[in-house]
Structures are given as C-alpha cells and as structure tokens.
Amino acid sequence: MRWRVVLVVVLVLVAAGWVGLAVATGGGTDPLAFRQAVAKTAQGGLTAVRTAHLAGQAQLDGRMFDTTLSPILDNAVEGVATAQQELAGTPAPGAPELAIRDQLSRLLDDAARTVGTLVAAVDRNDGAAARSAVAALGPLGDRLDDFARGHQP
Amino acid sequence: MKKVFAVTLGILTAIGGFIDVGDFVASSQAGARFGMSLAWVLVLGVLGICVYSEMAGRVTAISNLAVFDLIRERLGPRVALVNLVAAFLVTLITLGAELGGVALALELASGVYYLLWVPVAGFVLWIALWRLKFETLERVFGLAGLTLVVFLVALPHLHPQWSSLWQQASQPVPSGSENWNTYGYFAVSLFASAMTPYEVFFFSSGGVEEKWGPDELPVMRANVFVGFPLGGLLSLGIMATAAALFQPLDAQVNSVGQAALPVAVGLGRVGLIVVILGIFAATFGAALENGLSAGYTVAQYFGWQWGKRVAPRAAARFHFVVLLAIVIGVLVLFTTIDPVQLTEFMLVFNAVILPLTYLPILVVANDREYLGDHVNGWFTNLLATIFLVILVIVSIAAIPLMIVTGMGG
C-alpha cells in the first residue's frame, strides 16, 4: 500500500514539475533572456568573423596552406550560419528588442556575405577578391565587437 | 651514461606525452576568453598530477601491481566495480575525443573532411596497439608530441604585451564581460585536463609493463617531477598564444584549426606544419594510451591476463576490450558530434570521477602491507589530502557549472 502512495506522490511531483517547466518556458522570451541570447549570438558571429579575418590575412601573407585554410573558413561559415539561426529562433519581447534584433541581423547578414565572398575568392584563387574580402572583415569584426560590448546582459 | 640517457629520454617522453586533446582545447579556450588569469589552475593541476602519479608509480614499483588490481584487492569488488564503470565510460569518451583530435589534425593537413579520417585513424590505432611494442608506442608519440613546443616559440612572434600577460596571470579574476560562473567552469575544465584519470591508469600499468622495481624509483620520480611540469609549460604556451592573439580581438576558440592559428600567424607555414604534426602526435599518442587504459582497467578488475608484454593470444580478452573501445570511440564520432564539444563533455565527466580515481591511490599508498617502508610520509599525505579536498570540490561543482553556463556559454 505504501509504495502505491509513494508512486502517486512521485507521479504528481513529476507532472507538476513538467507543467511548471512548460509555463516557465511557454510565455515568450523575457527581456533578460533575450539580451543573453543576443549577446551569445553576437559573440558567435564575432568569433567567426575574427577567425576568417585572421586566417584570410595569414593566407594573403603566405603563412597558411590552402588545405588548412579550407576547414578553418568552413567553421567560420558554420559559425555565422549558427548565429543567424539562433537569432531567428529568439523572439523579441518588445519594440526596443526588435530594433536590437534587426541591427544584429543586418550585421550577421553582412558577415555571412563577406565570409562567403572570401571562401569563393579562395576557391577561385582570386587574390584581389580575397584581399578585398579580408579588408572588409576587419571593420565588420569591429562593428560586431561594438555591438557585443554594448549589449551585454 | 646509459642511465642518464634513459632518464633524459623518459623525461622528454613525459613532456611530449603530457598534452592531449583536453589540454589543447581547454588551454586554448581559457587563454582566448580569460587571458592568463586561469594559469594558476594549470599550475595547481600539474602539482596535483605530480603528487598522485608519484604515489601510483611508487605503489607499482614496490608492489608490482597496477592501480586497478590494487583497488579491487584493497576496496573489494563492489566498490571497485563502481570505480571501474565510471573510469571505463570516461575512458571511452576520452578515446572518442582523442580520435576526433587525430581526425581534425589530418583534416588540417589534407583539407579532407575529418569524419572521413575517423575510421582510418581508428584502424591505424588498432594496428599500432596490436603490433607495436609498448616502449615504441610510448617513446615515438611522446617525443613527437614535443613538437608542441612550437607554441612557446611562436609566442614572442605574436608580439604580446608581456606586462599584460603577467598582470592577468597575477590577478586570478574573470576579465571583461566574463563572470564567475564561466570562470569556474573553465577552471574545472583546465584542472580536469591536467589530472585526467586515464593518465594514472596508464602510468601505473605502464610501470608493470616495463617491470619497474624499487631501483626504478629515481627514474620514475624524475619523469614525474621534471617531465610533467615541463609538459604543463607546453599547456601554458598554448594558453598564452591564444591569449595573445584572440583575447584582444574578443574572439573565442571553438575549433582545433583556430587553436593552431596563432602558430601560423607567428611562424608561418613551417610553424603550421610543426603544430599540425604536434597535434597529431599528441592526440594519437593519447588515443593509444586511452585504448590501452580501457583494456587495463577491465582486465585488471576481472583478473585477466593483460598487457603488451603478453602475446595477444594469451591476452585475448584484454585485446578484445581494446578493440571494442576503439570501435565505440569511432561510433561516438559517427554520431557527428563535434569533437571539440565531445572534448568539453569529456573534461566535465573526468572532473566528476576525479575523487573515485585518486582516493584509492591515497589509501593504498598508506598501506604498509603493500608498500612496507615506502608508504607516504606526512608531507605527501598533507599534500595529497589538500588535493583530495580540491578534487571533491571540483567533482561536485562540475555538472552544476556545466548546466548554469551552458557549457561555458
């Protein structure tokens, strides 16, 4: 008899915990959670852009092999794509947050385009295009860095 | 002269063999995010592994028994089974992470996607464990791992602000936007990377393989007290180059290619070749040690014939466990889990089981039945007890910190 009571109590507690979790996570993103998600996303984009910049510059300086550059740039492309995906899955709780999200979204779009241009230039062995993409990645990284610093939770 | 050569070779092997994928990932990530402010954790971890490896080595040299043999004998089969299950599972995860490191090094060298290298690496690992002698395995990859000294060579070429690195090292607090939770998480990872349990299983079982006796105690101590700290210096070099290149740019490290980047930037293509060779040697060497450790722990617990000194036919169950561990390691990577993420998991779970590994060594090292006059002195016991308290704290904190920070955030 006693084990049945214990079983019922355990089941009720599990069900209550489950409902509590559903309520806590189902009411949209609160401003703090939004800021945390945005900071993490911006950091992911920043890391990818800085890495692509460093690796691309090393390649232009003759310090890198194509075989090594390729996986590093692939990781950078993936890093930006992941950041974009995470941002898309982060609903903005209000109008101010929506503006922040749009701002970061534009930066990440720029990052995806510029890193993609670098990858294409390296694939084509187009030195001029690679140089131009690497030159653009520096300031873009600075803008992402400013954003990340300005939106710490 | 022959003895000096043996000691020098042993020390060099210990230095090169100290680094594995866990040290590589944890040191790079910590350097990029916290500069040198977590350097003290590495120093503490190296001191800890020295204290406990010396004990494990002494126990083996005097009793001619490896750690797991003694755990079962001294603590009984039930307690030892808990220990075995925990150690074996963590060794499997570590083996998977090391194989991932090998595959990523090959990807950096060839440009071919790392998952295509995983079965090749697993097969070559098995052949090496099956065919090569213990000394050859240990020496070749230990010495090749020494090439990671290239991080220390690259550091001045990155023109770091030395005063800033020193200031970070002397102020152990989170920097910039980082908080205490992430600082704690990376401290736990770094500590676990320095005190990885498989290192002790391998070290003590290796002692049995090499037939250590009381005469080998000075050589063993030279390996531990000179080789391991110099190996720790390589970890500090990895941390410092990441701190010099990535931290000022606010960039984090989340791939092996990124971690090798400071050497390419500092030393160019020659440096890049050397660092890729170093990563390959360090991870392949650690994979060999983990493969053997998986076999050692299980065979020692069940009392089977084990070791490289025994013909494979006579130690068939030992070799089967080694093969099984490699297959599982390969299958873990085939789930497409990111090897760096697997390494991060591995470090956390290593941290959790630290007391389970090191407490029995402390118990046995105080047992006069096994060690006679070679039992721990008061100073060793004091140090070991302090470290045991730290190990328990690290073990308790590891999972909550992983959850709170989302694996470092």
Task: Report the mean per-residue pLDDT for chain A.
Answer: 88
pLDDT of residue B37: 95
Q: What is the pTM of this model?
A: 0.90
Contacts of B263 in chain A (CB under 8 A): none
For residue A1, which amino acid is it? M
pLDDT of residue B38: 95
Mean pLDDT of B76-100: 91
CA distance linking residue B394 with residue B396, whole number of Å: 6
Q: Which CATH architecture fits A30-150? A: Up-down Bundle (1.20)
Q: Which CATH architecture fits B2-405? A: Up-down Bundle (1.20)
Q: Backbone dihedral region of B211: left (phi > 0), alpha (psi from -120 to 50 degrees) or beta? A: left
| Burial class (CB within 10 angstroms; exposed 0-12, middle 13-18, buried 19+) of A24 | exposed
CA distance linking residue B51 with residue A4, whole number of Å: 51
Q: Please report which confidence band the pLDDT of residue A57 belongs to, taking 50, 70 and 90 as the band edges.
A: very high
Measured between alpha carbons, how far is residue B320 from residues B91, B265, B296, B396 in Å? 16, 44, 11, 34
CA distance linking residue A113 with residue B378, whole number of Å: 64
pLDDT of residue B108: 95
pLDDT of residue A9: 75
DSSP string, B143-162: HHHGGGGHHHHHHHHT---H
Q: In this structure, what are the phi and psi dihedrals at residue B289, rounded to the nearest 5 degrees? A: -65, -40
Test the B interface: residue of A36, A43, A47 with most B CBs within 10 Å = A47
CA distance linking residue B26 with residue B348, whole number of Å: 11
CB atoms near residue B222 (< 10 Å): 16
| Helices and strands, counts by H and E, chain B | 17, 0
The reply to whether A64 touches chain B by the CB within 8 Å rule is: yes
Domain regions of chain A by residue span: 30-150
Q: Please report which confidence band the pLDDT of residue A151 belongs to, taking 50, 70 and 90 as the band edges.
A: confident
Q: Which token pair is B363?
A: 């118990």
Measured between alpha carbons, how far is residue B98 from residues B299, B373, B398 in Å? 22, 39, 21
Test the B interface: residue of A36, A57, A63, A80 with most B CBs within 10 Å = A63
Q: Which token pair is A28?
A: 């949209």
pLDDT of residue A28: 55
The reply to whether A139 touches chain B by the CB within 8 Å rule is: no
pLDDT of residue A97: 86
3-state helix, strand, coil in chain B (%, to 5): 85, 0, 15
CA distance linking residue A99 with residue B222, whole number of Å: 62
Q: What does DSSP assign to residue B65?
A: -
Helix, strand or coil, per DSSP, at residue B165: helix
Ranges of H-type helices in chain A: 2-26, 31-60, 66-88, 95-124, 127-150
Mean pLDDT of B296-301: 91
pLDDT at B205 over 80: yes
- For residues B29 and B208, the answer to whether their CB atoms sit within 8 Å is no
Domain regions of chain B by residue span: 2-405
Inter-chain CB pairs, A–B, below 8 Å: 82
The reply to whether B277 touches chain A by the CB within 8 Å rule is: no
Q: Please report which confidence band the pLDDT of residue A20 belongs to, taking 50, 70 and 90 as the band edges.
A: low
Beta strands in B159-280 (DSSP E): none
Least confident stretch, A73-77, B13-17, B202-206, B306-310: B13-17
First to last CA, chain A: 52
Q: Please report which confidence band the pLDDT of residue B144 belongs to, taking 50, 70 and 90 as the band edges.
A: confident
DSSP string, B341-403: HHHHHHHHHHHHHHHHHHHHHHHHTT-HHHHGGGS--HHHHHHHHHHHHHHHHHHHHHHHHHH
Contacts of B249 in chain A (CB under 8 A): 50, 54, 141, 145
- Rg for chain B, CA atoms, rounded: 20
Closest CA to B68 of B193, B224, B204: B204
Complex-level ipTM? 0.88
What whole-number percentage of chain B has pLDDT above 90?
59
pLDDT at B12 over 90: no
Closest chain B C-alpha to A90 CA, distance in angstroms: 16
CB contact under 8 A, A55 and B177: no
Highest mean pLDDT among B142-146, B204-208, B392-396: B392-396
Mean pLDDT of B14-43: 89
Closest CA to B398 of B259, B260, B191, B212: B191
Mean pLDDT of B194-202: 86
CB atoms near residue B312 (< 10 Å): 14
Least confident stretch, A28-37, A42-51, A129-138, B36-45: A28-37
pLDDT at B368 over 60: yes
Least confident stretch, A57-61, A108-112, B31-35, B341-345: B341-345
What whole-number percentage of chain A has pLDDT above 90?
62
CA distance linking residue A56 with residue B78, whole number of Å: 56
Closest CA to B185 of B1, B397, B10: B397
Q: Show the CA angle centred on residue B305, arms to residues B303 and B309, nearest 5°.
A: 140
Mean pLDDT of A131-146: 95
Mean pLDDT of B151-169: 94
Q: Which residue of B has its CA nearest to A45?
A: B251
CA distance linking residue B64 with residue B283, whole number of Å: 29
The tens digit of pLDDT for each residue in B55-67 reads: 999 999 998 888 8
CA distance linking residue B50 with residue B139, whole number of Å: 20
First to last CA, chain B: 53
- Rg for chain A, CA atoms, rounded: 22
CA distance linking residue B153 with residue B151, whole number of Å: 5
